[in-house]
Amino acid sequence: MAQLQHKVIVGLEIHVQLCTKSKMFCGCAVEFGAEPNSRVCPVCLGMPGVLPVMNKQAYEYSVLTAMALDCRIPTFTKWDRKSYYYPDLPKNYQISQYDLPLGENGFIEIPLESGRTKRIGITRAHLEEDAGKNLHTAGNFSQVDLNRTGTPLLEIVTEPDMNSGAEVRALAVELQRMVRFLGVSEADMQKGHMRFEPNINLAILKDGVEYRTSIVEIKNLNSFRALERSVNHEEHRQLDEFLDTGKVMKMGSKTTRGWDDEREVTVLQREKEEAHDYRYFPEPDLMPVKLAPRWLDDIRSHMCELPLKRQMRYVEQYKLSDYDAGVLTAERSTADFFDEAVEAGGEPKRVCNILAQTGLRKANEKGCSIAQLGVQAIDVAKLAQEIETGRINASSAKTIFEEIVKLKANVFSRATVEDPLTVQRIAEQLNLIQKSDAGELEAIVDQIIAENPKAVEDVTSGGKKSKKAKGFLLGQVMQKTKGQANPKVVSEILAKKLG
Amino acid sequence: MEQLSAKELRDRIAAGQTSSVEATMAVFERIRQFEPTIGAYISTCEEKALEAAADVDKRIVAGEPVGQLAGVPVAVKDNMCTTFGATTCASRILENFHAPYNATVVDKLLAADAVIVGKANMDEFAMGSSTENSGLKQTVNPWDTSRVPGGSSGGAAAAVAGGLCFAALGSDTGGSIRQPASFCGVVGLKPTYGRVSRFGLVAYGSSLDQIGPITQTLADTALVLNVIAGHDPADSTSVNEAMAAACDYLEELEEPVEKLKIAIVPEYTAGADESVQRALSDAIEVYKKLGAEITEIDMPHLDYATAAYYVIATAEASSNLARYDGVHYGHRTQSPKDYVEVYSKSRAEAFGQEVKRRIMLGTYALSSGYYDAYYLKALKVRNLIRGDFTSAFEKYDCIIMPVAPTTAFKIGEKTDDPLQMYLSDIYTIGANLAGIPGISIPCGFDEDNLPVGLQILAPAFGEEKLLRIARMFEKETDWHKRTPPIV
Ligand SMILES: [Zn+2]
């Protein structure tokens, strides 16, 4: 048997739709799901005589993202025309950036399942306008919807640094989290805000000789699942093909495949990369962009602590589990809310538990962010403190949290909700304050001891039954106090009395 | 009536000595009389014009404020978008195209209360030097109807010369305002690149195109420039007011430039016809008499201007004209086999020869493997030419030279020889490559009684001084007062 080892090599092109109000080069609204050809104007329709005007916001969003990707940010960039004929491209050229992208030579750290991170190189990031959409729904002709035409797209190209479907997925997820934290994209997969094109081939070591398979590009993937599975599928397909045919990479050969989501296979689209000549040349209708230091500083001032860094900080600083830290940093609003509650005096782990177990679940139910539930960060800090001191228990904290959400939903009680004493008042109203007064509890414990001589005997005799009997007595006290006794205090009293 | 300049007419209308309706009706009377011969317009809009004229008259009678061109009938080259009538670029591919918006200059004319009478003929997509490349009609020179009016703004120049309007807007990519102005004996100004908004001007060579006035007098040029100049947020290449504010070009027009220093480039212009040379020497004498100092200079890189121009302009054109594909608007071929045929057949059927030639030239120049040798090299030449002008203007106020090597040539004389035709622009192209302003003013006639134009070039954003220098000449001569025999 021949000795065979292989490694999959993947680089990724990602298109991220920026969340600007208007399009890249005209004033039309960027809007998903509007009636076809209702968000268009002479400029994005490519009418004769129109001229583009750069959307400054889109440029700033792009530069901010490139900064977050640790790219070198050139102070001089320009626009180029990329020519190709397609019905969804009204000008038959796309305004893009060719040889002077707005960011280059960066990297992104991605979390691995092992808990470690891996650095993936970023080749370049540039801004361009999106094309429209061809619709083939009506008879023997096609229609074109140009609502999407001119939407700002940030194209990010990575180095071929990924070596598994899982890593490719991790990068995509991390990038999604990053652009959301930066507030530059909604990155909503359902709306096509992120589109992926992986380039995949294999390095195969056979009998001590290394072979490379031809690069395959998979077009237009718009879910993490399809992305990961298509890479995994391609890995096996290429290995099988190599074993069958022995075919290896030829210079410049690259095939294009599509992903069949139902059959979960990649399908050949173009055998040879067509000799595309895009005839790039500088866009004469737009001035080059010069990033003056002050503008650059202004963009930089919008930088935030990035999600992976923040996740790692939570683990390090607050001793949260990697999983919990990941949950808190999935959305910027959750992480910000968490920080605020911790700042207000909540013990991090308890705050985390309240948010993860109650807050996020509730927010999910309502389809909003934690901050939009109406519970203040200070309320959560208070809840954490009350648990800490033993005045309430975790399940009461949940009840109080949900009660505040309920009150908040009723506009008339808004004033009550904003009262900093909310937590305490609701706890009292709902009788959720734990009895921790040793004197009061001692009397009840005495009563229970008197009523249950058998159990007392089991405890004092030690041995097998002791533990169970202790639990029984504790349960009796809890029952007597309708669950309001602080179990920790009761246990202490029991231990003292029964040795 | 046609003897009046635009400014004189405006003043008379404002003073109530005549009305805009009267002037507009007179213009349409002349159009009915001479347009069948001259063929200056692709379309006219009499009803709309008379309505606009009546509105101006009403407001003047009511003592309401009116714009700078109130009541003056003007023409617009048919490559500027208007919501009224078609905007065809003299191309069959846009023959029935109705723009959903006005070009910025059109809005400015309307805001100045000008009365737009029609859209002037031109070479298809402004590609040509004789207006013979129009896909829709032929325009002749009012001075000799067997000759071309020049191009590509031939319709606009012929309309002004023939009294079919009082002023017109043309566009100039390689001489398309100045050369027809010269051939038709009128004034034509190509402003500095960025001085006038290109928004709504159907692009030919985007980095070279510029809109400018074609008029009977320099005062009219100043007046129209006042109306159309200035920054436009819709055109990123239009110059910022803070960098070079447009001013009132009429205000100082009559002030001669003191200690005027003029450069001439005899070596470069040696190839011009004798009659053109003679008119140029006479013009130089006029300036000498006015106290100007004339110096011969060398512009070493201008010899390459035509070559560089035909690479840059066609490269940009090949991209600018890609949108005319039969998919979204304009001519579409009948029953295409597939979408590729929508493109290829629609374009093959509706573009004219010269347009196809330039699209092919430009596509070739931008193709991978040829880009560096053609497009990039042309850009380098362009920079050298810019440098030549910059250093000349460090010492001299302006450069004067002929507009074109010849006067108006015969219809059909050059249509079989595109290279010969390209050479009609040899003296005008430099200003487009350098982005500087240039003007053509009447400076004499040849033995066939055809007008000769004098070209004056000035530094970027130096329109104010350029117009004053030209006005010094106009005051001393009466070439501009002659009218074509047909009139
Ligand atoms: Zn638009």
Question: Is there a contact between A91 and B323 if contact means CB atoms under 8 Å apart?
Answer: yes
Instruction: Please report the ipTM that was assigned to this predicted complex.
Output: 0.96
- Contact by Cβ (8 Å): B73, B27: yes
For residues A327 and A235, membership in a common domain is answered with: no
Distance of alpha carbon B194 from alpha carbon A157, whole angstroms = 36
Q: Collect all residues of chain A within an 8 Å Cβ-Cβ radius of residue B234.
A: 51, 53
Closest CA to A362 of A409, A315, A318: A409
Distance of alpha carbon A86 from alpha carbon A92, whole angstroms = 6
Quote the radius of gyration of chain A (alpha carbons, Å): 30
The reply to whether omega before B152 is within 30° of 0 (cis) is yes
For residues A187 and A243, membership in a common domain is answered with: yes
pLDDT value at position B245?
77
Distance of alpha carbon B301 from alpha carbon A275, whole angstroms = 37
> What distance in angstroms lies between residue A193's CA and the mean position of ligand 1's atoms?
19
Q: Collect all residues of chain B within an 8 Å Cβ-Cβ radius of residue A131.
A: none
For residues A424 and A354, membership in a common domain is answered with: yes
A267 touches chain B (CB under 8 A): no
At which residue do the structure tokens 């910059």 appear? B390
Q: Is A474 inside a domain boundary? A: yes
pLDDT tens across A64-86, in order?
999 999 999 999 999 999 999 99
Q: How crowded is the C-beta side of A490, counted as CA atoms within 13 Å? A: 26
Q: Read off the pLDDT of each residue in B47-54 and give the average, rounded to a whole number.
A: 98
Cα–Cα–Cα angle for A118, A122, A128, rounded to 5 degrees: 145
> Which pair of structure tokens corresponds to residue B205?
């060579």
Question: Residue A246: which domain range?
Answer: 4-294
- Contact by Cβ (8 Å): B92, B43: no
Q: Read off the pLDDT of each residue in B452-467 and give the average, rounded to a whole number.
A: 97
- Catalytic sites of B, residue numbers: 77, 152, 176
Percentage of residues in chain A having pLDDT higher than 70:
96
Q: How far is A275 from chain B (nearest CA, A)?
A: 10
Question: Is there a contact between B200 and A142 if contact means CB atoms under 8 Å apart?
Answer: no
For residues A134 and A211, membership in a common domain is answered with: yes
Residue B438 has pLDDT above 90, yes or no: yes
> What distance in angstroms lies between residue A60's CA and the mean position of ligand 1's atoms?
20
Question: Is there a contact between B315 and A281 if contact means CB atoms under 8 Å apart?
Answer: yes
Residue A137 has pLDDT above 80, yes or no: no
Residue B372 DSSP symbol: I
- Contact by Cβ (8 Å): B26, B12: no
Q: Is A300 inside a domain boundary? A: no
A81 touches chain B (CB under 8 A): yes
Residue B194 has pLDDT above 60, yes or no: yes
Question: Is there a contact between A50 and B327 if contact means CB atoms under 8 Å apart?
Answer: no
Residue A326 DSSP symbol: H
Which band of pLDDT confidence, cut at 50, 70 and 90, is reported for residue A462?
A: confident
For residues A85 and A175, membership in a common domain is answered with: yes
Q: Read off the pLDDT of each residue in B403-424 and give the average, rounded to a whole number.
A: 93
pLDDT tens across B229-280, in order?
999 999 999 998 777 777 899 999 999 999 999 999 999 999 999 999 999 9
**3-state secondary structure (DSSP) of residue A471:** helix
Of B79, B100, B234, the CB nearest to A53: B234
> What distance in angstroms lies between residue A357's CA and the mean position of ligand 1's atoms?
45
Q: How far is A53 from chain B (nearest CA, A)?
A: 6
Q: Is A156 inside a domain boundary? A: yes
Q: Is A301 inside a domain boundary? A: no
For residues A188 and A57, membership in a common domain is answered with: yes
Q: Read off the pLDDT of each residue in A246-264 and give the average, rounded to a whole number.
A: 87
> What distance in angstroms lies between residue A163's CA and the mean position of ligand 1's atoms?
41
Distance of alpha carbon B409 from alpha carbon B475, whole angstroms = 29
A50 touches chain B (CB under 8 A): yes
Which band of pLDDT confidence, cut at 50, 70 and 90, is reported for residue B168?
A: very high
Q: Read off the pLDDT of each residue in A136-160 and give the average, rounded to a whole number.
A: 91
Percentage of residues in chain B having pLDDT higher than 90:
94
Task: Give chain A's domain count.
Answer: 3
Question: Is there a contact between B327 and A90 if contact means CB atoms under 8 Å apart?
Answer: yes
Residue B67 has pLDDT above 80, yes or no: yes
Q: Nearest 5°: phi and psi at B151?
A: -170, 175
Q: How far is B66 from chain A (nearest CA, A)?
A: 29
pLDDT value at position B52?
98
Residue A421 has pLDDT above 70, yes or no: no
Question: Is there a contact between A281 and B371 if contact means CB atoms under 8 Å apart?
Answer: yes
pLDDT value at position A417?
46
Closest CA to B443 of B286, B297, B253: B286
B373 touches chain A (CB under 8 A): no
Question: Is there a contact between B101 and A52 if contact means CB atoms under 8 Å apart?
Answer: no
Q: Nearest 5°: phi and psi at A81?
A: -100, 130
Question: Is there a contact between B202 and A91 if contact means CB atoms under 8 Å apart?
Answer: no
Q: How far is A87 from chain B (nearest CA, A)?
A: 7
> What distance in angstroms lies between residue B43's CA and the mean position of ligand 1's atoms?
29
pLDDT tens across B83-92, in order?
999 999 999 9
Of A83, A90, A287, the CB nearest to B328: A90
Q: Read off the pLDDT of each residue in A302-313 and give the average, rounded to a whole number.
A: 96
pLDDT value at position B24?
98
A394 touches chain B (CB under 8 A): no
pLDDT tens across A384-403, in order?
988 888 788 888 888 888 88
> Which pair of structure tokens corresponds to residue B145?
């109807």
pLDDT tens across B330-363, in order?
999 998 998 899 999 999 999 999 999 999 999 9
Alpha helices in A69-112 (DSSP H): none
Q: How far is B232 from chain A (nearest CA, A)?
A: 11
Q: What is the residue type of A218? A: I
B335 to chain A: nearest residue by CA? A141
- Contact by Cβ (8 Å): A279, B363: yes
Interface test with A, best of B366, B379, B380, B433 (most A CBs within 10 A): B366
Q: Nearest 5°: phi and psi at B167?
A: -165, 165
Residue B479 has pLDDT above 50, yes or no: yes
Max CA distance (Å), chain A:
99
Q: Which of A252, A270, A294 lies at the terminal end of a domain, its last residue?
A: A294
Of A92, A144, A279, the CB nearest to B367: A279
Q: Is A299 inside a domain boundary? A: no
Distance of alpha carbon A307 from alpha carbon A253, whole angstroms = 38
Q: Collect all residues of chain A within an 8 Å Cβ-Cβ radius of residue B339.
A: 87, 142
The structural domains of chain B, with segments of one domain joined by +, span 6-262+394-481
Cα–Cα–Cα angle for A224, A230, A234, rounded to 5 degrees: 150
Closest CA to B469 of B438, B446, B444: B438
A46 touches chain B (CB under 8 A): yes
Distance of alpha carbon B374 from alpha carbon B362, whole angstroms = 10
A239 touches chain B (CB under 8 A): no
For residues A19 and A119, membership in a common domain is answered with: yes
- How far CA A56 is from CA of A53, A121, A492, B197, in Å, comes to 9, 27, 66, 21
B234 to chain A: nearest residue by CA? A53
CB contact residues (below 8 A), chain A span 461-490, against chain B = none
pLDDT value at position A273?
55
For residues A395 and A250, membership in a common domain is answered with: no
> Which pair of structure tokens corresponds to residue A391?
């005045």
CB contact residues (below 8 A), chain B span 309-338, against chain A = 315-316, 318-319, 322-325, 327-329
B342 to chain A: nearest residue by CA? A87
> What distance in angstroms lies between residue B363's CA and the mean position of ligand 1's atoms?
27
B348 touches chain A (CB under 8 A): no
Q: Is the dihedral of CA A398, A400, A401, A405 positive or negative?
A: positive
Question: Is there a contact between A277 and B368 if contact means CB atoms under 8 Å apart?
Answer: yes
Q: Is A188 inside a domain boundary? A: yes
Residue A88 has pLDDT above 80, yes or no: yes
Residue A351 has pLDDT above 60, yes or no: yes
Q: Which residues are registered as beta bridge partners of B168?
A: B75, B214
A49 touches chain B (CB under 8 A): yes
Residue A372 has pLDDT above 50, yes or no: yes
Q: Nearest 5°: phi and psi at A126?
A: -140, 165
B194 to chain A: nearest residue by CA? A285
Of A280, A281, A286, the CB nearest to B236: A286
> Is B6-262+394-481 a CATH 3.90.1300.10 domain?
yes
Q: Which of A401, A429, A457 lies at the terminal end of a domain, its last residue?
A: A429
Question: Is there a contact between B236 and A42 if contact means CB atoms under 8 Å apart?
Answer: no
Q: Read off the pLDDT of each residue in A291-316 and give the average, rounded to a whole number.
A: 96
Distance of alpha carbon B323 from alpha carbon A53, whole angstroms = 18
Per-chain residues with Cβ under 5 A from ion ligand 1: A 26, 28, 41, 43-44
Q: Read off the pLDDT of each residue in A131-158 and give the average, rounded to a whole number.
A: 91
Structural element, H or E, at residue B384: helix B377-395
Of B97, B235, B325, the CB nearest to A85: B325
A281 to chain B: nearest residue by CA? B366
Question: Is there a contact between B323 and A51 if contact means CB atoms under 8 Å apart?
Answer: no
DSSP A223-243: SHHHHHHHHHHHHHHHHHHHH
> Which pair of structure tokens corresponds to residue A46?
């490519």
A53 touches chain B (CB under 8 A): yes
Q: Which residues are registered as beta bridge partners of B49?
A: none
pLDDT tens across A43-53, in order?
999 999 999 99
Q: Which of A429, A463, A489 lies at the terminal end of a domain, its last residue?
A: A429
A246 touches chain B (CB under 8 A): no
For residues A338 and A472, membership in a common domain is answered with: no
